[in-house]
Amino acid sequence: MVKDKTKLYDKLLNYALPIILGIMILGVIIIEPSFVSIKNFTNILSQASTRAILAMGVAGLIVLQGTDLSAGRILGLSAIVSASLLQDINYAARMYPNLEQLPLIVPFLIAIGIGVFFTLINGFGVAKLKLHAFIITLGTQLIAYGAALIYIDRPPLGAQPIAGLDERYTNLVKGAFKIGNIEIPYLIIYAAIIAVIMYFVWNKTKLGKNMFAIGGNPEAAAVSGVNLTKNIMYVYLIAGILYGIAGFLEAARIGSATSITGQNYELDAIAACVVGGVSFSGGVGTIPGVLIGSIILQFINYGLNFIQVNPYLQIIVKGLIIIVAVSIDVRKYIEKK
Amino acid sequence: MKKLITVLVVVAMLTTMLGGCSSKPATSSEDLEIGVLIYKYDDTYISTVRQALEAEADGHANATLLMNDSQNDQSKQNDQIDILIEKNVDALIVNIVDIGAAKTVIDKAKAADIPVVFFNREPDAEVIKTYDKARFVGTKPEEAGIIQGEMMAEVWNEGKYDRNNDEVMQYVMLKGDADNPEAIARTEYSVKTLNEKGVKTEELGLQVANWDNDKANQAMEAWMAKDGDKIEFVIANNDGMASGAISALQNAGYNKGDADKYIPVFGVDATDEAKNLIEKGEMTGTVKQDGEGMAKAVFALALNAANKKEFIEGTDYKYDESDIAVRIPYQAYK
Amino acid sequence: MSEEKYLLEMVNISKEFPGVKALDNVSLRLKKGTVHALMGENGAGKSTLMKCLFGIYKEDSGEIFVNGVKMHFDNPKQALENGISMVHQELNQVMQRDVMDNILLGRYPQKGIIVDQKEMYEYTKKVFDDLGIDVDPKAKLGKLPVSARQMVEIAKAVSYDAKILVLDEPTSSLTQQEVDHLFRIINLLRDRGCGIIYISHKIEEILRISDEVTVMRDGKWISTKPADELTNEKIISLMVGRELTQRFPAKTNVPKDVILEVKNLTGKYQPNIKDISFDLRKGEILGVSGLVGSKRTELLETIFGIASYSEGEIRLNGKAIRNKDSTDAIKNGFALLTEERRATGIFGGLNVRFNSIIANIDRYSKHGVLNNKKTKDDTNWVIDSMSVKTPSQNTLMRSLSGGNQQKVIIGRWLLTEPEVLLLDEPTRGIDVGAKYEIYQLIIDLANRDKGIIFVSSEMPELLGICDRIMVMSNGRIAGIEDTKDLDQEKIMTLAAKYL
């Protein structure tokens, strides 16, 4: 009897996150039955896409017992640079008036390059200089922000939003497949592809296994001959690639980039990770968890708005839900004395 | 187990309650819903406009506003617009976060055939013109700067404030934001107007203080430490920064009522705090944005559009030379 | 080089830490196909010597030869690559991952860029089958009992095909059957020509399994002899190096009335702690002995209120009490000296004064503000009465030696004026000389009518200073006897009673 009870409890705990999401969806539907629509569904998923991509990058660093405060600003800088290189050639206020129309792949790769540049600094700081991730990423957060301001505020135009984006670019990001009456935004597909790749990296490759080992017990990994520096650097490298991609997509999704693009995104990403069961003590986390975490957070934004909760209350509810979700989730790991 | 269920129930209840108490009553088919997107709820000036807007809507029983706080995040605003479109609102009132994103906003509205009234933060006229159901209500950004400049020229010409008697105005500038057009225009035109009025100027310092009281205060402290005896005028893009600068001046012994130790400070917005400071003689002047007038105009245009009428039909408002913008004038406040 | 073929030679290794000569010209020679026992008390330098071998520490002088070739390793990985592997005493394992992930950590088989899970499973299964270990390769490591984890760790070390295998206290949490199993594995490896360095405290095991025995004491090499020339007594006298009577101060304390009664105590989340009943007198030192995993620490935590119990009763001076948490316990007159001094006892980065007064902070503060003079006076009392060797009250705790740190912590608890002291391995990692002072302190405390429970893994010290010894086995009491009726052998027999 007692055993059955604990078993049920364990099972419920294991599925706590989907259950929470389900309850929230149900709540919104009860209040506003018109919420049930495919469009709402695809809206939430596509809005969660860039954030989920960012969160998947941050998640690896949290698995390594680290964190990343610079993710949002790095995304911002990538977004600004991508946008500046992909302004419509007929747009009057171009940042580079004489720039030819570039193939999309060039700015895409540059955005990734920017992401990787910063995360490799972070990785170096953590793996070699032995700085806590909080410190080094706090530093690079400021550096990336400063770089974005310098980049954006210069002659001939001075500081102004980078808008008038090339249609090829916006179509690539904001377009959608049509299957009958249903539109599936490309963004969802991009995020899905990246999720599959990340799932593969985390679960099927040596790097993924090493990442969990280092995050779980760095000493054990070192004694077993795992090269900590190299593996940590790789995890940061992957994060940088994802930040770059997310930045590239985000600029077109918003339709413009400014110095505030990406501000505080890292906090949403970290929240998505912890809500999704990535443990701050390291060594624990899954890609599906991160995805669910991102969707839960986006659902909170979307659902509360949909049922017209007072905007200030929305922020409080979001805070409460993060606390509740994580405190239920950690029950799985707490050892009782 | 019990605990878990309790927690889940609490979450469900919270969600339901919060939604329940603010969900609107069922609307009949004739009722109109207008989606409102505010760039940032806790902006001093915009919050007065927002409240005026809500008061205006209360006077029209058949129109409901769906309010949204975009928290200074364009990405969030885009998401909120998606939601409002999905809710099939009759018109949108948009106080855009990032004017560069106006095209994206217009594309979304256009695809759903919903009219849009932008206000306060001004997108490029060319972009607005791409959609025949888009309009703008706002001020002329340069006007605030011009009025500020005129006020300052007047004060300067009293002749009391040229501390080093070199007939050049040494000033410091507190700029609101690096890439905000209002900030850029105010910064540029206040000085330009001074010069046009024959006042020679010299800039001792410029700081982007993000419209923020505290950041302005820090900048002013630093300037006072460095050039305390040289600064003759303080120009701020808004009153929040002006008040931050004043408290720094007061720390250094200025603007406390002693006429000999007074550095004129100018802001924009005419907030209650600024009016109070001016009354006490600690601040010199500000420029009043007519928030209520702005709200009235925005609501009138949106209501017309929601009723599928021309935006300014039956009102006293007129478009300026662009044919898509209605301008609300600024006033000097001394 | 001698003509005999040595697998491993460590010659004249010396290593000095600030203030301590940890290794002083130590040599160790391991022959092919033999088990070489390395013995010595805690702090004798066994672990330090092994850490020099694996490149975790760098020796100050001396040379290492592997198969006659001079070698030096910078890290454990290089040692592994050269066929030297080790099972560490503190298991270095990733609890969150499964068994096969741990076995193959750092050398996952790959198919292209994919880690070959099937191959991992089969490999692990093969290694386990080969060694007769019955553990599911897919089980999550953190969910396995300690003994299974220890077998996994041993299997992992063996699976490197190491020619030289170091086992550091491998049987500390194994049952008798498991020890037999381990010995079969060791014999198998010996027959294959491997050399095994076997570090253990358990003399009987050593005599049973090893070919040669090297004894170390205080960082020095003492002797290396064939096992069949040695006896229990000889090894002890080599390890201790002097008469037992000199190691302990005179016992002057006299047990009086009962102060603490524990009746039928059973742990709530540690159901292994079962039906514990004993009493403790004022002025008495009650030793607690048992194997690793016998739940001695957990028992102290349960009494102190850090761990909860589902059944049973604790009476202090005849009155029933229940410590809900450590604050309660301190209020009721208990003090707990924790086993992991570094992790849960000291604040290394803070000074001696802070470390002295922290458990008693309420007494010095009025409205949250500390009374400086009082804290200084009390810290002086700690330093004087515990004879702590420290330059000043402001010296950082971590710059004191282990013995002096321990004295500060005992002093800290005395400031709370406890009636019952729970001491968990108070002499671990402390020099032999300093141990004597700690023993003297404990006896002095007993003379002041404190009741003392003294948990230790070192039987000689229990036999040396306790009035009675309680032996625990698998969470239960296997016996409580007067010290004069006990010896090491009897304790060991009792310790295995409920395995």
- Mean pLDDT, rounded, for C122-127: 94
Question: Where does the pLDDT of residue C99 fall: very low under 50, low under 70, confident under 90, or very high at 90 and above?
Answer: very high
Show the tokens assigned to C380. Answer: 């002086």
Which of the listed residues C241, C261, C289 is the one where a domain comes to its end? C241
| Residues C374 and C325 occupy one common structural domain | yes
* Range list of H helices, C416-499: 432-447, 459-465, 488-495
Please, what is the end-to-end C-alpha distance for chain B in angstroms?
Answer: 66
Determine how many CB atoms are found less than 10 A away from the CB of residue B82: 21
Task: Show the domain range for B304.
Answer: 31-138+291-333
A227: which chain C residues are within 8 Å (Cβ-Cβ)? 77
Q: pLDDT by residue (tens digit) across C324-374? A: 888 888 889 898 887 766 556 778 788 888 888 887 777 787 777 888 888
List pLDDT tens digits, range A61-115.
999 999 999 999 999 999 999 999 999 988 877 888 888 889 999 999 999 999 9
Q: Is the distance from CB of A294 to CB of A51 less than 8 angstroms?
A: yes
- Considering the domain boundaries, does residue C148 fall inside one? yes
The helix (run of H) or strand (run of E) holding residue B154 is helix B141-157
d(CA B265, CA B233): 6
Give the residue on B whose Cα is nearest the Cα of A299: B79
Q: Are residues B133 and B146 in the same domain?
A: no
| Residue of B179, B186, B206 for testing the chain A interface, max A β-carbons within 10 Å | B179
Q: Specify which of A236-245, B288-297, C88-97, C390-399 reaches the highest per-range mean pLDDT.
A: A236-245
Residues B276 and B301 in one domain: no
As a whole number of Å, the end-to-end CA separation of chain C is 47
C197: domain CATH number is 3.40.50.300
Which among B23, B86, B107 has the least Cβ separation from residue A40? B86
Domain assignment present for C276: yes
- Condensed to tens digits (0 to 9), the pLDDT of residues C201-219 reads 777 788 889 999 999 887 8
Residue B113: inside a domain: yes
What average pLDDT score do residues C454-478 get? 89
Same structural domain for residues B243 and B211? yes
The mean per-residue pLDDT over the stretch C130-138 comes to: 89
- Of C223, C241, C259, which one is at a domain's C-terminal end? C241
Q: What pLDDT is attached to residue A139?
A: 96
B295 in the same domain as B276: no
Q: B82: part of which helix (H) or strand (E)?
A: helix B74-86
- Write the burial class of residue C278 (CB in 10 Å: 0-12 exposed, 13-18 middle, 19+ buried): middle
Q: For the residues A35-58, what does the mean pLDDT come to?
A: 92
Q: C101–A283: do the CB atoms touch at under 8 Å?
A: no
* Nearest chain A Cα distance for residue C240, angstroms: 32
Distances C142 to A183, A289, B230, C297 between C-alpha atoms, Å: 46, 21, 70, 20
Most confident residue range from B202-216, C40-54, C142-156: B202-216
Residue B184 domain-assigned? yes
Residues on chain B touching A258 (C-beta within 8 angstroms): 74, 98, 100, 179
> How far is residue B137's CA from residue C178's CA, in Å, rounded to a whole number?
84
Q: Which residue has the higher pLDDT, A124 or C328?
A: A124
Which of B141, B70, B176, B151 has the alpha carbon at shortest distance from B328? B141
| Segments of chain B with pLDDT less than 50 | 1-2, 16-29
Q: What angle do CA B226, B287, B209 make, to 5 degrees?
A: 40
Count of domains for chain C: 2
CB contact under 8 A, C113 and A205: yes
Q: Could you tell me if B76 and B100 lie in one domain?
A: yes
The interface residues of chain A toward chain C in range 215-234, judged by CB-CB distance below 8 A, are 216-217, 219-227
Instruction: Sort C345 into a burial class: Cβ within 10 Å, 0-12 / 13-18 / 19+.
Output: buried
Q: Which of A152, A165, A308 has its CB closest to that of B22? A: A308
Amino acid at A188: I
- C1 in any annotated domain: no
Q: Is C2 exposed, middle or buried (0-12, 13-18, 19+ CB in 10 A)?
A: exposed
Residues C297 and C226 in one domain: no
**Closest alpha carbon to A275 in A69, A46, A55:** A55
Residues 6+ apart with CB under 8 A from C300: C336, C422, C424, C453, C455
Do C269 and C203 sit in the same domain of this protein?
A: no
CA dihedral of A63, A68, A72, A77, whole degrees rounded to 10: -110
Residue C270 C-alpha, separation from nearest chain A C-alpha, in angstroms: 7
Look at chain B and report how many structural domains it folds into.
2
**B80–A305 CB contact, under 8 Å:** yes
Q: Residue A225: left if φ>0, alpha if ψ -120 to 50, beta else—which one?
A: left
Residue C145 maps to a domain: yes
The radius of gyration of chain B's CA atoms, rounded to the nearest angstrom, is 23
The answer on B249 and B164 residing in a single domain is yes
Per residue, the 3-state secondary structure of chain A, as one string, reads CHHHHHHHHHHHHHCHHHHHHHHHHHHHHHHCHHHCCHHHHHHHHHHHHHHHHHHHHHHHHHHCCCCCCCHHHHHHHHHHHHHHHCECCCCCCCCCCCCCCCCCHHHHHHHHHHHHHHHHHHHHHHHCCCCCHHHHHHHHHHHHHHHHHHHHCCCCCCCCCECCECHHHHHHHHCEEEECCEEEEHHHHHHHHHHHHHHHHHHHCHHHHHHHHHHHCHHHHHHCCCCHHHHHHHHHHHHHHHHHHHHHHHHHHHCCECCCCCCCHHHHHHHHHHHCCCCCCCCCCCHHHHHHHHHHHHHHHHHHHHCCCCHHHHHHHHHHHHHHHHHHHHCCCCCCC
The tally of CA atoms less than 13 A away on the side-chain side of residue B268 is 29
Q: Looking at the structure, tell me whether residues B117 and B255 fall in a common domain.
A: no
Question: Are residues B20 and A31, on separate chains, in Cβ contact within 8 Å?
Answer: yes
Helix (H, G, I), strand (E, B) or coil at B129: coil
Q: Mean of the pLDDT values across residues C251-277?
A: 88
Q: Which CATH number fits the domain that encloses residue B241?
A: 3.40.50.2300
Residues from chain B contacting residue A321 (CB–CB below 8 Å): 11
| CB-nearest partner of C269 from A209, A216, A336 | A336
SS3 of residue C421 by DSSP: strand
Which segments of C57-158 are extended strands (E)?
61-66, 69-71, 84-87, 110-111, 114-115
* Rounded Cα distance, C287 and A53, in Å: 59
Same domain? For C289 and C148 the reply is no
Residue C313 maps to a domain: yes
Region C91-112: mean pLDDT is 88
Task: Count other Cβ atoms within 10 Å, centred on residue B244.
Answer: 23
Annotated domain spans of chain A: 2-330
Mean pLDDT of A191-219: 93
Smallest CA-to-CA distance from C224 within C62, C44, C28, C46 is with C28
- Using CA atoms, how far apart are residues A124 and A135, in angstroms rounded to an integer? 12
Distance CA C91, CA C454 (A): 26
Q: Are residues B266 and B146 in the same domain?
A: yes
For residue C221, the enclosing domain spans 6-241
So what's the pLDDT on residue C242? 58
Which member of B11, B72, B78 has the closest CB to residue A254? Answer: B78
Q: Are C158 and C189 in contact (CB under 8 A)?
A: yes
* Residue C260 sits in the same domain as residue C237: no
DSSP state of C30: E
Using the beta-carbon criterion (under 8 Å), do A9 and B105 form an inter-chain contact? no
The DSSP symbol for C344 reads I
User: Same domain, yes or no, for B166 and B272?
Assistant: yes
Per-chain mean pLDDT for chain A? 90
Tell me the residue type at C463: L
Chain A window 150-209: which residues touch C at a Cβ cutoff of 8 Å? 200, 204-206, 208-209
Report the SS3 class of residue B10: helix
**C40 — pLDDT class (breaks 50, 70, 90):** confident
Q: Domain A2-330 classified CATH 3.30.70?
A: no
Do C251 and C229 reside in the same domain of the chain?
Answer: no
Interface with chain A: mutation pick from C51, C93, C96, C160, highest number of A CBs within 10 Å? C96
Distance of CA C387 to the CA centre of its chain: 26
Are B158 and B190 within one domain?
A: yes
Residue B107: closest C-alpha in chain A = A255
Token code pair at residue C18 = 């600030």
**Partners of residue A222 in chain C, C-beta under 8 Å:** 75-77
d(CA B170, CA B173): 10
3-class DSSP state for residue B324?
Answer: coil
A51, A291, A301, B37, C383 from A271: Cα distances, Å:
11, 12, 13, 25, 48
Query: Which member of B4, B101, B124 has the closest CB to residue A254?
Result: B101
CA-closest candidate to residue B67, choices B108, B28, B95: B95
* In contact, C459 and C491? CB cutoff 8 Å: yes
Q: Are residues B155 and B261 in the same domain?
A: yes
- Quote the pLDDT of residue A5: 59
Find chain A residues with C-beta within 8 A of C75's C-beta.
Answer: 222
For residues A87 and B283, give the distance between their C-alpha atoms in angstroms, rounded to a whole number.
44
- For residue C426, the tally of other CB atoms under 10 A from its CB is 25
Q: Do A43 and B82 touch (CB under 8 A)?
A: yes
Alpha carbon of residue A148 to chain centroid: 20
Judged by CB atoms closer than 8 Å, whether chains meet at C105 and A205 is answered as no
For helices C372-385 and C402-415, angle between their N-to-C axes, nearest 10 degrees: 120
Q: Is the peptide bond before A156 cis (omega within 30 degrees of 0)?
A: yes
Q: Locate B220 and state its tokens.
A: 């002013």
Cα–Cα distance measured from residue B228 to residue B226, given in angstroms and rounded to the nearest whole number: 6
- Chosen domain end from C210, C241, C272: C241
CA distance C494 to C499: 10
Closest among B329, B333, B327, B334 to B138, alpha carbons compared:
B327
Question: According to the model, what pLDDT value does residue B28 have?
Answer: 42
- Asked if residue B329 belongs to a domain, the reply is yes
Token representation of residue A13: 């705990």
Strands C164-168 and C114-115: unpaired
The amino acid at C341: R
Strand partners, B288: B269, B331
- Tens of pLDDT, residue by residue over A134-156, are 999 999 999 999 999 999 887 66
